[in-house]
């Protein structure tokens, strides 16, 4: 399997610098330094995290979705990023709803300069499973907005991703807050593309159990084959998963702050949030919806909101009960930890596949013969500071 992957044998400096470029923002030098320390980056390397200034070119791949909608509004109200495109994918609800929902958010934010492209209607090899039970039948918790006057561009999402990455090689970060079908399709049809993508910042995955099955987080569960392509692509990945997003429940106080602000973005966000909270109550949930996707965007804007740890992450694709599970390998975590290995590079820690069956002549496959991280994984969050950023930007107070 490893022979089919793009090599990940980069140095610690190269990996951290690449990951950091996905996380850094122009006016946050102090935050970057804190993030660097939290990630275990030596002081001599921390300058690598501070060499670029905003705005950062990003493509947002999304399946709106309550939290997607607020994440889009947050990104469009943030001067640190230059949004080159928004690409819609089927996920929380079908593409027939995610695409117009994305167009509505662009129009509400007054950002009709941002092109919106239609993406995949279904996962790579599976039937679509949606989350209307969580997001309502229209994806926005039942909040209704006028039909958008703008239309998507003609290019399909995967093709448009390829065009933009090739136009700005090593300068585009993909912020993925839905299933990874569009990104995997782009990578599959353009073998040179992965080397040109600056980084992927994803809301997806979990190292602590799932939210649609006991094992799998929804975005990865919907298209685990696509997720595996992305994780094995060699692109530096920042993973903001359920380990931290579970700690970001929207409350009545947050909604009231949004309702009090008199601007189109805050009013739209408040309407979506209010309907989402009511929908959660009707479904029997005890807390408001978690702001999964908004946290991924916020973590890109200010990485000091989160604590980070480097893992090699891969995706289960064949398990009857575990398809979509993300597994994190580390030489200093869990029962596989090895004393004194924290500061060593190239630790001899084989990444193993499943044990062979009695009827097979295969041996247990070694997928990698040593530990090389491919992901910077969020492990904790300052929820209060996150909501200060989210509500502050949406309300126009930041």
Predicted confidence at residue 29, as pLDDT, reads: 39
Q: Which residues of the chain have pLDDT under 70?
A: 1-54, 336-347
Question: What is the CB neighbour count within 10 angstroms for residue 56?
Answer: 25
Residue among 135, 254, 279, 292 flagged as catalytic: 292
Question: Is 216 contained in some domain?
Answer: yes
Predicted confidence at residue 33, as pLDDT, reads: 46
Question: Residue 316: which CATH number?
Answer: 3.90.245.10
Question: Is 367 contained in some domain?
Answer: no
Predicted confidence at residue 47, as pLDDT, reads: 35
Predicted confidence at residue 42, as pLDDT, reads: 33
Question: Is 365 contained in some domain?
Answer: no
Predicted confidence at residue 281, as pLDDT, reads: 83
Predicted confidence at residue 283, as pLDDT, reads: 77
Q: What global pTM score does this model have? A: 0.86
How far is residue 139's CA from residue 148's CA, in Å, rounded to a whole number? 15
292 belongs to the catalytic site: yes
Whether residue 308 contacts residue 328, with contact meaning beta carbons closer than 8 Å, is answered with: no
**325, exposed or middle or buried, with CB in 10 Å at 0-12, 13-18, 19+?**
buried
Token pair recorded at residue 230: 């992305």
Predicted confidence at residue 342, as pLDDT, reads: 54
State percent of the chain over pLDDT 90. Answer: 70
Task: Share the mean pLDDT of the chain.
Answer: 86
Look up the domain containing 383 and give its range: 14-327+376-395
Predicted confidence at residue 136, as pLDDT, reads: 85
Question: Is 363 contained in some domain?
Answer: no
Question: Is 316 contained in some domain?
Answer: yes
Predicted confidence (pLDDT) per residue in 283-323, tens digit: 777 777 999 999 999 999 999 999 999 999 999 999 999 99
Distances (CA, A) of 397 to 68, 77, 78, 383, 392: 21, 11, 12, 18, 5
Question: Is 53 contained in some domain?
Answer: yes
Question: Is 9 contained in some domain?
Answer: no
H or E stretch at 98: helix 95-108
Instruction: Tell me the CA end-to-end span of the chain in Å, nearest whole number.
Output: 47
Predicted confidence at residue 349, as pLDDT, reads: 79
Predicted confidence at residue 288, as pLDDT, reads: 79
Predicted confidence (pLDDT) per residue in 232-259, tens digit: 999 999 999 999 999 999 999 999 999 9
Partners of 192 in beta bridges: none
- Domain tally for the chain? 1
Question: Is 188 contained in some domain?
Answer: yes
């Amino acid at each position: 399997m490893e022979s089919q992957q793009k090599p990940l044998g980069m140095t610690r400096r190269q990996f951290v610098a690449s990951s950091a470029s996905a996380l850094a923002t122009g006016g946050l030098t102090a935050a970057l330094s804190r993030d660097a320390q939290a990630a275990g980056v030596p002081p001599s390397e921390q300058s690598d995290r501070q060499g670029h200034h905003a705005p950062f070119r990003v493509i947002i791949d999304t399946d709106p979705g309550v939290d997607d909608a607020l994440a889009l509004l947050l990104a469009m109200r943030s001067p640190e990023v230059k949004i080159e495109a928004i690409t819609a994918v089927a996920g929380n609800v079908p593409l027939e709803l995610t695409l117009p929902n994305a167009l509505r958010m662009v129009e509400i934010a007054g950002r009709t300069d941002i092109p919106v492209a239609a993406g995949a209607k279904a996962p790579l090899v599976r039937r679509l499973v949606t989350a209307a039970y969580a997001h309502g039948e229209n994806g926005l918790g039942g909040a209704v907005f006028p039909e958008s006057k703008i239309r998507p561009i003609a290019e399909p999402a995967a093709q448009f991703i390829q065009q933009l990455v090739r136009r700005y090689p090593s300068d585009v970060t993909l912020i993925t807050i839905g299933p990874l079908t569009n990104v995997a399709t782009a990578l599959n049809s353009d073998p040179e593309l992965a080397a040109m993508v600056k980084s992927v910042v994803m809301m997806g995955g979990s190292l602590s159990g799932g939210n649609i099955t006991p094992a799998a987080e929804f975005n990865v569960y919907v298209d685990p084959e696509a997720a595996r392509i992305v994780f094995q692509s060699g692109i530096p990945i920042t993973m903001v998963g359920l380990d931290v997003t579970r700690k970001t429940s929207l409350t009545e106080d947050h909604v009231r702050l949004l309702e009090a602000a008199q601007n189109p973005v805050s009013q739209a966000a408040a309407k979506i949030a209010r309907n989402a909270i009511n929908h959660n109550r009707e479904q029997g949930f005890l807390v408001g919806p978690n702001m999964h996707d908004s946290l991924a965007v916020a973590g890109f804007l200010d990485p000091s909101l989160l604590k980070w740890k480097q893992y090699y992450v891969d995706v289960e694709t064949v398990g009857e009960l575990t398809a979509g599970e993300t597994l994190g390998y580390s030489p200093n975590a869990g029962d596989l930890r090895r004393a004194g290995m924290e500061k060593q590079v190239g630790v001899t820690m084989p990444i193993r596949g499943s044990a062979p069956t009695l009827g097979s002549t295969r041996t247990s496959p070694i997928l990698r013969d040593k530990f090389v991280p491919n992901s910077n994984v969020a492990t904790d969050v300052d929820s209060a500071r996150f909501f200060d950023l989210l509500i502050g930007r949406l309300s126009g107070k930041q």
